[in-house]
Amino acid sequence: MKKLLYQLDTDSIPSVFDNVVAHDGGADVVVPYGGITPANVGPLVEGAIFTRGPKDKKNTALFVGGSDLVAGETLFSAIQKQFFGSFRVSVMLDSNGANTTAAACVAYLEQGRSLAGMDAVILGGTGPVGQRVAVMLTQAGASVRLVGRQLSRTQGVCERLSQRFGMTITPVEAADRDARGAAIRDAEIVVSTGAAGVSMLEEGQWSHGSRLKLIADANASPPLGIDGIDMKDRATPRHGALAFGPLGFGALKLALHRECVGRLFESNDQTLDAEQIFERARALLAQS
């Protein structure tokens, strides 16, 4: 029986990246839909849950993507509300690659060490990737401050994360690069998840950080988010800290994304969001 993945994208044009990785992850057929919302997803979910018998339902799965994480979360939740009894299929949320990118990054940060009790700062943390990095670093035991340029937006993001995940993440306003330098001064972990191609920090702003142990940058579009890090850094010693560049954890991100798609077809009752995807990243890294 063919493995069918319905790619439900909240953007009007479905992501090619997600489509390719879905094929590489083991789906035989990937059907992309754009502009999906809770208001129009109903018939698509019905089509997925009512067509195949109990033993065969695991061969149908749903993937929620798109650039807007809040829209993705809302859609993800609406889909699950339609499930009842055995009338369900496995579903994964990875808007803008947020879960898989953050999970790969944080899994590397904690590889071979405990992050418990460490002070972490996330620059550009209000975007999809930064939000999930905040959640996973907190899950790993770090105390997290999430930095954005406007306090009201940053506070809103932290409140939403607190409601969804029941964790405390502290919002910090830093309107420009100087303010971001001040925000990381006492940090032991710095992760930059600013928008593609935006320089978030100069090398001189972090090279003297006496407490800094781990520094990571998710931005793979030049210029890098953190000056002084190389794209391919993976636990590379720099200025007394270990540095991780976007390509340093990018291979794990891709492997994880593929692996999660493959797992959707193992049973019809899987829900893959931040918690589950982070666990899979830890397991994948442990096996490598």
Ligand X SMILES: NC(=O)c1ccc[n+]([C@@H]2O[C@H](COP(=O)([O-])OP(=O)(O)OC[C@H]3O[C@@H](n4cnc5c(N)ncnc54)[C@H](OP(=O)(O)O)[C@@H]3O)[C@@H](O)[C@H]2O)c1
Q: Which of 13, 20, 116, 195 binds ligand X (CB under 6 A)?
A: 195
> Does 248 sit near ligand X (CB under 6 A)?
no
Q: Output the smallest distance, CB 56 to ligand X, in A.
A: 34
Handedness of CA 240, 139, 37, 87 (dihedral sign): positive
Q: Residues 244, 112: contact at Cβ < 8 Å?
A: no
Give the residue ranges of DSSP H helices in 112-245.
128-139, 151-165, 177-183, 203-206
> Does 194 sit near ligand X (CB under 6 A)?
yes
Q: Output the smallest distance, CB 119 to ligand X, in A.
A: 20
Closest CA to 68 of 44, 37, 31, 91: 37
Residue nearest to ligand X (CB): 127
SS3 257: helix
Element (DSSP H or E) covering residue 279: helix 274-287
What CA–CA distance (Å, rounded) separates 162 from 169?
Answer: 7
Q: Output the smallest distance, CB 102 to ligand X, in A.
A: 9
Cα-based distances in Å from 286 to 90, 180, 272, 273:
25, 33, 19, 20
Stretch that binds ligand X, among 111-119, 192-200, 203-211, 259-267 (CB under 6 A): 192-200
Please, which residue, 10 or 59, has the CB nearer to ligand X?
Answer: 10
Give the single-character DSSP code of 103.
H
Please, which residue, 116 or 196, has the CB nearer to ligand X?
Answer: 196
> Does 231 sit near ligand X (CB under 6 A)?
no
**Stretch 127-146: interaction string toward ligand X, x if CB under 6 A:** xxxx----------------
What CA–CA distance (Å, rounded) separates 22 from 39?
Answer: 25
Q: Which of 25, 32, 148, 181 binds ligand X (CB under 6 A)?
A: 148
CA Rg value for the chain: 19
The angle subtended at Cα 223 by Cα 217 and Cα 229, nearest 5°, is 40
Q: Which of 246, 257, 259, 270 binds ligand X (CB under 6 A)?
A: 246
Q: Output the smallest distance, CB 29 to ligand X, in A.
A: 25
> Does 219 sit near ligand X (CB under 6 A)?
yes
Q: Which of 70, 167, 198, 284 binds ligand X (CB under 6 A)?
A: 198
Q: Which residues of 93-115 are buried (b: 16+ CB within 10 A; e: fewer)?
A: bbbbbbbbbbbbbbbbbbeeeeb
> Does 284 sit near ligand X (CB under 6 A)?
no
**Stretch 62-101: interaction string toward ligand X, x if CB under 6 A:** ----------------------------------xx---x
Q: Which amino acid is at 190?
A: V
Contacting positions for ligand X (CB under 6 A): 96-97, 101, 124, 126-130, 148-150, 153, 193-196, 198, 218-221, 246, 250, 253
